[in-house]
Structure 1
Amino acid sequence: MSTIKLGKLPDKTPVKLAITVTPDLHLSLQDYAAAYAVTYGIEVPVPELVPAILSAFLEGDRGFQQQRKGK
Structure 2
Amino acid sequence: MAKLKLGPIEDEKPVKLTIELTASVHRDLLAYARAHAAETGLHAPLPPERLIVPMIAHFMAGDRSFKRRKDPHP
Q: Residue 70 of structure 1: CA displacement?
A: 3.0
Paired residue for 1:35?
35
State the identity %: 33
Equivalent residue pairs, number: 60
In structure 2, what is the Cα distance between the partners aligned to 1:59 and 1:69?
12
Flag the structure with higher helix content. 1
1:14 aligns with 2:14: yes
Q: Residue 13 of structure 1: CA displacement?
A: 5.2
Unaligned runs of 5+ in 1: 1-11
Which among 49, 61, 64 is matched to residue 62 of structure 1?
64
Say which structure, 1 or 2, has more relative contact order (CA 8 Å, 6+ apart): 2
Unaligned runs of 5+ in 2: 1-11
Q: CA RMSD in A?
A: 1.8
- AA at the equivalent of 1:39: E
Larger Rg: 1
- AA at the equivalent of 1:23: A
Moved over 3 A (4+): none
